Structure 1
Amino acid sequence: MTNKIERDFTSLKKAVSGIRKSLKQGSDIDDVYSRLNALEVRLNSQLEVMSKFESIANRTKNAYDELLLTAIKKNSLPDEVFFDIAQAPDVRKISDALSQNGICIIRDETIVELARNAQSEMNDFLEKVKDDISKKIYTELDDVIIDGVDEIKGGHNGRAGQDKAVLHVRGGADDGLVDVFNADRIFPSLAAIKEGLRTGYVKDVIDRAIPGMEFENINVYINKGVTKTRGFHYDSRSPVVKIFIVLTDVPDHSYGPYCYELGSHLDEVTIEESFSGIGFTSFRKNDAYFSNYKNVIACLGKVGDIVISYQHGSHRGFPQSPDRTRMMGVQVLRPKKP
């Protein structure tokens, strides 16, 4: 199919070149119009072929995504990536697991109360600003800016760089996800969790696994009935780490758990190819166009669990049931600037 399209486009280019030549040579205008009409017919035919090809590609990708979601449900979280702080695991062991798999999950009962308090603070906050959110326009309140429809310039960095917390409702592939930038400014319990991450064993794990990373802003993701999520993808070619703090129980897949392809951060060739784009198929730039179904897992868990994830590995969110809610604190780390 691809070779045929390439041949047809080459032929169309020759036709256009011939028409241009005729115009320069002062050919009969009726002849030129006739050739233009013939070219239009061929272009419409070609567009129809491409439309069919795109439709097939979309259906294929959707079916592939569904198969991966089925695999995620069947695959269990391997013991090698789960650690319970109550068992006093060695930082070296956690760090090695992170380096090998690109992800690890840590159960830490000491932050459960803080996590539950943060959840309560967020629920109160969302109730207070729900009318402002529904307006979908830029609104500046005493302690937070509501972004409206991407009105703050500069994307992620623009929102993170504001003097206040910023509430942003995503669209597109993650339609409905609420992203609160610099959430520690309005949620005291999250500020306490943030301080613990930056001074405790989590920092030691990351420093050993991937030295030279720098803590950036901490956000909160709030998913309420987000039934459509982007498929497996990479956030970056170069190392980026996210620490997810689970703020609501995620006992099963209906809650929309974070999902990861184990070891995918090590496949530099596939990562690079994903960022090159896949032409006019339904794959977007930095989509993972291949995932090993044996290695895709979901991070089910409890309030207070900590998930450390390499974002230069393949990951996605699992689609939620319409009546489910999931909240997660999100601490970003990037390489220190020289």
Structure 2
Amino acid sequence: MPFNLESFAGNPKEELSTLRYATKQDLCDLAEKCNIVVDPAYVKARLLSNFLDYLINQEIIADDEVQALRIAAGVLPPVPVDTEVEKIRLQLQLERVKKETTERELYLEEKEREAREKEREAREKEREAREKEREAREKEREAREKEREAREKEREAREKEREAREKEREAREKEREAREKEREAREKEREAREKEREAREKEKKETIERELYLEEKRAEAREKEREAEIRHQKKLQELSLSNRKEATLPATFEVLKASKLVPDFDERDPEVFCQNFEQIAETLKWPVEFWSLLIRNKVKGKAAFVASQLVSENDYTVLKKTLLDAYSITIKGYRQILEILLKLSIQLL
């Protein structure tokens, strides 16, 4: 029965018979666990004798209970009688026990070695069997692959032969078609040059007409803008005279000075212009009744034309809505034109 340090420490009296199988290191660990001072250089028999004396002194076991263990472990007990016969008997008994213990340990070691060797051989044979099985499957797969490749090559050979005959027929057909295409190509080339010449002339004519049309439209737009500006200025003058007749401006608000602080009007984004104007007017606390008058002095282009149509309207909210509505219609119109041009370009492609 093998020695176990934890089991022996828990029940030394029951596990006493296993102490004979303890190694020198086991006895040193056991002595350290029981706080017994020993020299690691002691031989195993002396370590065992010291530990047995400790068990007897602690009254854990009786002296007669360890007598057989001393003999089995090679530790001579105290000789009760000083006789040579008893000494020889005990010596012979000790040597016999030592021999039996040594033979048993050698036997166990040999059995353990044989078991490990058999286990290693079994694993090796199992590995070789798996390797042979894998090689057999690999050879079978290679054989099937070669057979498939052979059939594939035979099929390819027949296919190539058929393709060669087909290519020969196609070559004669292509040669005939090539002569026909060459004749058609010369004809198409002549037609292409003629069409290209006509296209260049047509494009040049359309470019000139388009430039003339755009220039005419730009001239008309400039003329309309100039006329709208003139009408706007006239109505502003009339409005200014009318306002001077109807009411007197408060002494604390100077319209001329305030008009210099109004931001410039940008036709590309009239909404931002209105937001900036309202922020300045609210910050400087300008009277709301003068807001429409201040805006009329700054707008231009299409906004000036719209403002001139509302010369009698002094409500800033109405004037602002009218201006934004006028420019929103223009933006919508531009989007419609762009969508039409995009559809035409897609159709031409």
TM-score (ref. length: structure 1): 0.22
Higher relative contact order (CA 8 A, sep 6+): 1
| Higher normalized helix content (fraction of residues) | 2
| Higher normalized strand content (fraction of residues) | 1
TM-score (ref. length: structure 2): 0.21
